[in-house]
Chain A
């Protein structure tokens, strides 16, 4: 069993796709570096922190993008974002079976301020345009840096989102909120609080990720491959079901002070015990308690 959490973006791709099928697009030898970091005399990366290419996944033809948290926390600049947009549009052109995005990002790369913000919004539009064209886009989160900022919106726009317990997902990171509103609002050094609020288990129980897996590459691979096979369903009806679910969530949990309160309201009397359960046991228990949109008849 090889850990997803500690693997680099390149190792994650290798560990997930079928052996010897990955063909990188714009590999580091092409040196597509950020022009804006150079202007600031900051270090650049020859892949700008994201690896893209085509591969087979359990036989299915996919395009894949993997953000490298080790370079600027996976933050999105002009080149980085354009590579992700390219891979999404290429998938449609080449009629791939799906797109897989291994997300690890703090969001907009602040050193490329305006260019980063625009790039993130272009990635989100490209994900939704791909889905509207019938292309399943599968996201995965399980790295050290989590998935925050605008890329958390991109993650929630995916057809299907796979997370591990170690994965974290949120729009504004705890440090950002603490800086803006004070430690009383969000104590970013309270690890348990951060975990309960942004971690994979809470996201799974709320219904904001679709699969919760153990922290290993094989588990991520199987969950992602299954989601690609399941295909895409994106329509006015699915979005209306989601709307109803999000309305109910606000009614039920809008004043809940803590994740543990939400878990109790969902029907887990020993909410605290959830924190020590392995992912597969939690998934087995979660069953009817999770909140998800009602299915649309096909």
Chain B
């Protein structure tokens, strides 16, 4: 979906979101709450500039609009694969964006994410995957890599991966699989403005993804292992 379409459905009362290069920024009202909107478009690769621009928007929101909820609208092809970005420390820029999200959270901003088109690994770790709650639209593509590439890298025959992917959400791309594993809260269909409002009402600052994955049967171990580590008797 185009971001303009998504934004229109999310904010039927209107919005002032603009596209600057691959960056989306602006705001829109949801009921009587105004959201700060920060995003990316054109399947862009996230390089040092875009990560920094997004971070600037988060910091500006915290300074100028205390408590205003933030919505990340995500469409990305992943991190930018350039030697120049590595030379400049792209991991630091990504981490900085993640830190800004955490600081917003500690300043009582609710942070939501919506994958409206596609999301690949490094491009959405420091934004929507740092959100209190992340959702996706029905046609959204979410993946680490596609099955042919995974077959090449892991030297596991493609046919075998295709069979495994029928039953397991672990291997195959797709927003549905990320729902089963708890990383995506829900696929939003129908009235997007209503879904946004409901999500805002439910969002809280704790990371519930491992429990969701456990409850939904898509990630059996993560939650129980964290519990075991936290609860193990101290033996000092």
Contacts and interface: CB of A to CB of B under 8 A. Distances in A.
Interface of A: 21, 23, 25-26, 32, 35-36, 39-40, 52, 54, 78-79, 81-83, 85-87, 89-90, 93-94, 108, 110-122, 124-126, 128-129, 131-132, 149-150, 152-157, 169-172, 174, 176-177, 180-181, 185-186, 197-198, 202-203, 206, 208, 234-236, 239-240, 242-243, 246-247, 249-250, 253-254, 256, 258-259, 262
Nearest to A158: B95
12 contacts: A85-B229, A113-B143, A114-B144, A115-B170, A125-B102, A132-B103, A170-B90, A203-B89, A236-B103, A242-B96, A246-B48, A259-B87
> Size band of the B side of the interface?
35 or more
Contacts of A32: 221, 225
Q: Which of A39, A132, A206, A243 has the most CB of B within 10 A?
A: A243
A155 B172 CA distance: 28
B4 to A, nearest CB: 28
B122 interface: yes
Contacts of B170: 36, 112-115
Interface string B85-101: 11111111111101110
Given A114-B171, A122-B207, A153-B95, A239 B234 contact: no
Contact of B125 (A26, A54, A85, A153): A153
Contacts of B226: 82, 85-86, 89
Q: Which of B83, B154, B227 has the most CB of A within 10 A?
A: B83
Given A113-B150, A236-B103, A242-B96, A35 B221 contact: yes
Nearest to A33: B221
Contact of B177 (A114, A197, A203): A114
A125 B210 CA distance: 12
B162 to A, nearest CB: 13
B230 A254 contact: no
Interface of B: 48-49, 52, 55-56, 59, 62-63, 79, 81-83, 85-96, 98-100, 102-103, 105-107, 121-122, 125-126, 129-130, 143-145, 150, 153-154, 156, 164, 168-172, 177-178, 181-183, 207, 209-210, 213, 219-223, 225-230, 232, 234-236
A180 B140 CA distance: 23
B228 to A, nearest CB: 6
Contacts, number: 241
Contacts of A185: 81-83
Contact of A118 (B59, B85, B94, B209): B209
Contacts of B91: 152-153, 155-156, 169-171, 208
Nearest to B169: A114
B230 A93 contact: yes
A262 B98 CA distance: 26
Contact of A113 (B86, B89, B145, B234): B145
Contact of B154 (A54, A111, A125, A169): A111
B222 A82 contact: yes
B229 to A, nearest CB: 3
Contacts of A114: 143-144, 169-172, 177-178, 181, 183
Contacts of A208: 89, 91-92
Given A26-B225, A156-B91, A177-B81, A121 B183 contact: yes
A26 B235 CA distance: 13
A118 B177 CA distance: 11
B181 A177 contact: no
A26 B62 contact: no
Contacts of B89: 156, 203, 206, 208, 249
B81 A128 contact: no
Nearest to B126: A153
Contacts of B145: 110, 113
Contacts of A235: 103
Contacts of A115: 170, 181, 219, 222
Contacts of B49: 250
Nearest to B124: A121
Q: Which of A108, A112, A114 has the most CB of B within 10 A?
A: A114
Contacts of B79: 171-172
A240 B52 CA distance: 12
Contacts of B125: 117, 120-121, 124, 150, 153
A80 B98 CA distance: 21
B144 A108 contact: yes
